A and B are shown apart, each in its own frame.
Chain A
Amino acid sequence: MVFLTLSCWIRSRGPDRYWKVQEVLKHARHFRGRKNRCYSLAVRAVRRAFVYATKARKLKKRNMRTLWISRIAAATREHGMKYPALMHNLTKTSVQLNRRVICDLAVTEPRSFLSLAKLARARQQEGFRAALGDGKEPAGVFSRVVLLQ
């Protein structure tokens, strides 16, 4: 008599479970609690983390822009102007600096930022004179649009 059924009950499972599990856990090592150790909890946490990372790429751009704008607004208020006035007058004088650069100037080069604020204020005053005056005075220096050939 030969007993064959016993050997049929032995199953060989996949050999790679350890590495497949480690692939997921390596992204969860810096999490808090059991999510960084236990696979079933880690799978869900890692998937959420990746989803948040994908969504955050658009949000980062928005957040950085609002940060720059609030910093520029704070810096202009130190000089007695407001943010919308500054940006509008800078674009009217064809100063094509974006908010990131103006924010960096406000932080690291305060005197250059002061000169930008003065330029914007001068253009603003010229705009007021052109609007409220009678049109007999010539347009101011900063209102001339320079066409670069």
Chain B
Amino acid sequence: MTSRGTPSRFLQSVLQNGVGRYVSQLKRICIVFSRKAQSSLGVREFIEEGVVDYAKKNPATVVYVSPQSCRIPKIVAEYLNGNVREEIITSKTAPQISDLLTKLTNQSGLDVIRIRKPFHTDNPSIQGQWHPFTNRPPCIGPIRPQKQEAE
């Protein structure tokens, strides 16, 4: 996995989320599980106990619960910028699923790829970025290379 061969992005927040109001970036969650299979045991437990509390705590996210006959239970999370994330929850316990859901809620929908720098500023320079004339005294007349004595 080379840095040039794999996609990468800079650290950013979606539209400066959090500077003013914080808007949860999770649009909707679809919990796909089966009614009878053994792999969806934890999901069924979570739906009996935790789903309603989760939906009340996150009023901005729509929660869909869809029991189907499927081999692998999944959580399909869609974000406001259109990204879709699917997490497989076979043989997970209910607390593990609620932890997973909090993780998905706290994520912004940006791609999970290499972040080039762990910091970002819109105003990197306060005193003015350096340019070749920053530390030179202003002079009348043609600009010549500085002599050593003048420094």
Q: Are A108 and B2 in contact (CB under 8 A)?
A: no
Q: Which residues of B contact A49 (CB under 8 A)?
A: 2, 5
Q: Does B16 contact A (CB under 8 A)?
A: no
Q: Does A134 contact B (CB under 8 A)?
A: no
Q: Are B135 and A78 in contact (CB under 8 A)?
A: yes
Q: Which residues of A contact B129 (CB under 8 A)?
A: 107-108
Q: Identify the closest chain A residue to B4 (Cβ).
A: A30
Name the distance in Å between A37's Cβ and chain B's nearest Cβ: 16
Q: Of residues 77 to 111 in A, which have CB atoms within 8 Å of B's CB atoms?
A: 78-80, 106-111
Q: Are B127 and A111 in contact (CB under 8 A)?
A: yes
Q: Does B19 contact A (CB under 8 A)?
A: no
Q: Are B3 and A53 in contact (CB under 8 A)?
A: yes
Q: Which residues of A contact B126 (CB under 8 A)?
A: 108-109
Secondary structure type dominating chain A contacts: helix
Q: Are A109 and B4 in contact (CB under 8 A)?
A: no
Q: A78-B135, A79-B135, A114-B135 are in contact. Are A107 and B2 (CB under 8 A)?
A: no
Name the distance in Å between A134's Cβ and chain B's nearest Cβ: 31
How far is B18's CA from A56's CA once the two chains are assembled, in angstroms? 37
Q: Which residues of A contact B124 (CB under 8 A)?
A: 108
Q: Does B128 contact A (CB under 8 A)?
A: yes
Name the distance in Å between A82's Cβ and chain B's nearest Cβ: 13
Q: Does A63 contact B (CB under 8 A)?
A: no
Which one of A27, A106, A109, A114 contacts B2 once the chains associate, using CB atoms below 8 Å?
A: A27
Q: Which residues of A contact B4 (CB under 8 A)?
A: 30
How far is B128's CA from A108's CA once the two chains are assembled, in angstroms? 6
Q: Are A109 and B135 in contact (CB under 8 A)?
A: no
How far is B128's CA from A109's CA once the two chains are assembled, in angstroms? 6
Q: Are B1 and A50 in contact (CB under 8 A)?
A: yes
Q: Are A108 and B1 in contact (CB under 8 A)?
A: no
Q: Which residues of B contact A79 (CB under 8 A)?
A: 135
Q: Of residues 92 to 151 in B, which have CB atoms within 8 Å of A's CB atoms?
A: 124-130, 134-135, 151
Q: Are A50 and B130 in contact (CB under 8 A)?
A: no
Name the distance in Å between B2's Cβ and chain A's nearest Cβ: 5
Q: Does A112 contact B (CB under 8 A)?
A: yes
Q: Which residues of A contact B130 (CB under 8 A)?
A: 75, 106-108, 110
Q: A49-B2, A107-B130 are in contact. List 7 more A-B contacts (CB 8 A).
A: A30-B5, A106-B130, A107-B125, A109-B126, A110-B127, A110-B135, A114-B135
Which B residues fall within an 8 A CB radius of A? 1-5, 124-130, 134-135, 151
19 residue pairs of the A-B complex, CB under 8 angstroms, read A28-B5, A29-B5, A49-B2, A49-B5, A50-B1, A52-B2, A53-B2, A75-B130, A80-B151, A107-B129, A108-B126, A108-B127, A108-B129, A109-B125, A109-B126, A110-B128, A110-B134, A110-B135, A114-B135
The 4 tightest CB contacts between A and B, nearest first, are: A108-B125, A109-B127, A53-B2, A78-B135
